[in-house]
Chain A
Amino acid sequence: MNAAIIFGLLLALMLTGMPISISLGLTVLTFLFTMTQVPLESVALKLFTGIENFEIMAIPFFILAGNFLTHGGVARRMILFATSMVGHWNGGLGLAGVLACALFAAVSGSSPATVVAIGSILLPAMVKAGFPTRFGAGIITTSGALGILIPPSIVMVMYAVATNTSVGALFMAGVVPGIVLATVLGSVTWYRARKFGYPRQARATWAERFKAFRDSIWGLLLIIIVMGGIYTGIFTPTEAAAMSAVYAFFVAVFVYRDMKLKDVPKVLLNSANMSAMLLYIITNAVMFSFIMTNENIPQTLADWMLSQGLGPVAFLLAVNVLLLAAGNFMEPSSIVLIFAPILFPVAMKLGINPVHFGIIMVVNMEVGMCHPPVGLNLYVASGVTKMGITELTIAVWPWLLSMLCFLLLVTYWPGLSIWFPRYLGMM
């Protein structure tokens, strides 16, 4: 009963279009004042201590690092490197786009940032080279989604915080699915480019490839710093994030010199703006899940589902449908923060691996980012290409369809996600 009231209230408040953080907070307040015996003090304390968690602090650091990288010339050099490697195949620049997105995703934790970084440089070049705008936009919108699957990933940090899973293990678990998804998207690109006879680039010589590699080495090194640092235990994920922020600043301002020192405060302010918005959602989501746990809602739900004879297969299917539906209304961070605490206990009772479950959620979020009405990638791509949303929706479907197939693969093949972190001994 209480559960129905809480969710009904939350849904009603959210549908009025007020910020998600505010609707979560108001739901908690209303519930506290009207129908519970939870001491107000313990909730007030959550208000203060909700985000006092060093792991959460990885989020602002990764956002800051991403913003430095987006404008610091790292993306441009990665595109050149990717083009020199795969540009001569069918789909040339398109394939290079997929590869560049994958590389950039390995240094940035956010999908829309990847779309901005790669798309704003690559799309004009593709149009100039004779590709239809639709083709390029479809590639960048969907490949940009790799940003949250290939570590580092802000959404994974959110999931880890919401469910007490290890950030390091989640990051490592994203590596193999990330590479597989990049391959899948690349294959679709290659196939379509061959079918429609899109232009290819001249084959680069090994000397040119080596030069492009050397130019982009500063960006590529960051992959080693973050992943290597976390794997070897030199850094915690949060420290790795802070290191990558400082490193990205250094590279952007002093090595590539694509950003001036006077731009730095603007980047800081902008990153603070984005991070504060996400942290504010987290604060209120923490209160919300505290209330839910206090009312035993996730446990009750889990018991009910089990009593219905729901097996892992049916449960995961239901989770996918639920998350894909939620992806029509909300952006990934809010979905993870609201749904993960509810679904996680059920998944645990059904014996699903927590890391595997996290990867399923992340891939679901990726799909949600690429289709209307709220797909962030789609809107960012629309901003970059000046294409309408309707046209973009048509443009992305071949890749989106292959992504849905990939989602099925990830959902029902746990080994794909958990083999690598197991192999590394991180779980």
Chain B
Amino acid sequence: MKILDHLEEWLITFLMGGATLITFAAVIHRYMSGLAIPGLQDWLLSLNFSWAQELCIIMFVWMAKFGAAYGVRTGIHVGVDVLINRLSDRNRFKVIVFGLLAGAAFTGIVATFGGRFIWDNGAHYALLHAFGMDPGDLPEGPTTPDLEWPTWLVYSAVPLGSSLMCFRFLQVTYHFIRSGELPHHDHGHVDGIEAKEMPVDVNVYDMDDNLHPHDIKHPMLGEDEDEGGKQ
């Protein structure tokens, strides 16, 4: 399980950094090759960066799908929680469980659809082909315009990411039912008025606001002065 966690983090970190560098390199390349520097210009012109934009998009699509799964684990997805945060603990517990299961249901359905879609659009053909079987009249599926990668491979981000997200939703639900705790909103990272340096990974979408449900275990920040019991 730890391995999966790390793999997920490592993957989206890499995709984020990689996409940035590629786009940066492509822009630099475009302008450098416009400069008349003998030798360098010819070499630069011989490089072809037309695929950069496409690769950047693909990397970000993958980053978005797996990052969304990671977001379930970190509890970052925003919702309309003004009303349910006014409910009693008992009722809020039920509503939160319903919300989490709805998330699992949606991502599960999307994963199934997505899987079927790529299966019909080339994955089936590729699998049979890879094992040396005759694919018959199965479609080979389209390829992407610049990189000419098979689209089913690119689009497999959807079923893979959604499955992972579904799994994360179930994991969070299980944990919530057992302990009453939702993915941690770390209040500790803002150390009050004296702290001058914020930690590098302070997350502005991760404050204890009404965009996220409050769990059962922690009292609410912000409104707790009326109700007593600050953490």
Q: Are B200 and A275 in contact (CB under 8 A)?
A: no
Residue of B12, B13, B27, B204 contacting most chain A CB atoms (<10 Å): B204
A16 to B155, CA, bound (A): 31
Q: Number of contact residues on B: which range applies?
A: 35 or more
Question: In residues 1-57 of chain B, which contact A (Cβ within 8 Å)?
Answer: 9, 12-13, 15-17, 19-21, 23-24, 27, 31, 53, 56-57
Query: Pick the contact of B16 from A51, A53, A64 — CB < 8 Å?
Result: A64
**A71 touching B223 by the CB < 8 A rule?**
no
Q: Tell me the bound Cα distance from A151 to B226 in angstroms.
A: 39
**Docked CA distance A329–B209 (Å):** 11
Q: Does A121 contact B (CB under 8 A)?
A: yes
Q: How far is the CA of A277 from the CA of B77 in the complex (A)?
A: 6
Tell me the interface secondary structure of chain B in the complex: helix
Known: A269-B12, A273-B203. A13 touches B102 (CB 8 A): yes
Q: Contacts A246-B21, A279-B60 given: A382-B70 contact, CB under 8 Å?
A: no
A236 to B7 Cα, complex, angstroms: 33
CB contacts (< 8 Å) of A29 on chain B: these are 106, 109
Output the least CB separation between A334 and chain B (Å): 7
- Stretch among B123-131, B132-140, B185-193 lining the A interface: B185-193
The reply to whether B204 and A121 contact each other, CB–CB distance below 8 Å, is: no
Contact present for B207 and A376 (CB under 8 Å): yes
Residue contact A239 to B114, C-beta cutoff 8 Å: no
B125 to chain A, nearest CB (A): 18
Contact between chains at B99 and A17 (CB < 8 Å): yes
Q: Given A22-B106, A272-B13: A110 and B23 within 8 A (CB)?
A: no
B96 touches A266 (CB 8 A): no
Asked if A51 and B60 make an inter-chain contact with CB atoms under 8 angstroms apart, the answer reads: yes
Q: How far is the CB of B53 from chain A (nearest CB, A)?
A: 6
Docked-complex contact B196 and A121, CB < 8 angstroms: yes
Does A283 interact with chain B (Cβ within 8 Å)? yes
Inside 8 A of A281's CB, which chain B residues have their CB?
78
Contact B23 A267 (CB under 8 A): no
Tell me if A140 counts as interface (CB < 8 A to partner B): no
| Interface residue? A354 (CB, 8 A) | no
Interface magnitude class on chain A = 35 or more
Instruction: Flag the segment in A83-91, A186-194, A358-366, A383-391 that touches B.
Output: A383-391
Known: A16-B84, A60-B16, A242-B24. A22 touches B207 (CB 8 A): no
Q: Which of A184-214 contact B (CB under 8 A)?
A: none
What residues of chain B have their CB less than 8 Å away from a CB belonging to chain A? 9, 12-13, 15-17, 19-21, 23-24, 27, 31, 53, 56-57, 60-61, 63-68, 70-71, 74, 76-85, 95-96, 98-100, 102-103, 105-107, 109-110, 113-114, 117, 155, 158, 187, 190, 192-198, 200-205, 207-211, 213, 221-226
- Mark A residues whose CB is within 8 Å of B: 13-23, 25-26, 29, 40-41, 44, 47-48, 51-54, 57, 60-61, 64, 67, 70-71, 110, 112-113, 115-116, 120-121, 123-124, 127, 133, 234-235, 238-239, 242-243, 245-246, 259, 263-277, 279-281, 283, 328-331, 334, 372-376, 378-380, 382-386, 388-390
Q: 27 A-B Cβ contacts within 8 A?
A: A18-B100, A20-B80, A22-B102, A22-B107, A26-B102, A29-B109, A44-B113, A53-B57, A54-B56, A57-B56, A71-B197, A121-B196, A124-B194, A242-B20, A242-B27, A243-B27, A245-B20, A246-B21, A273-B71, A275-B60, A277-B76, A277-B78, A279-B63, A382-B222, A385-B193, A390-B222, A390-B223
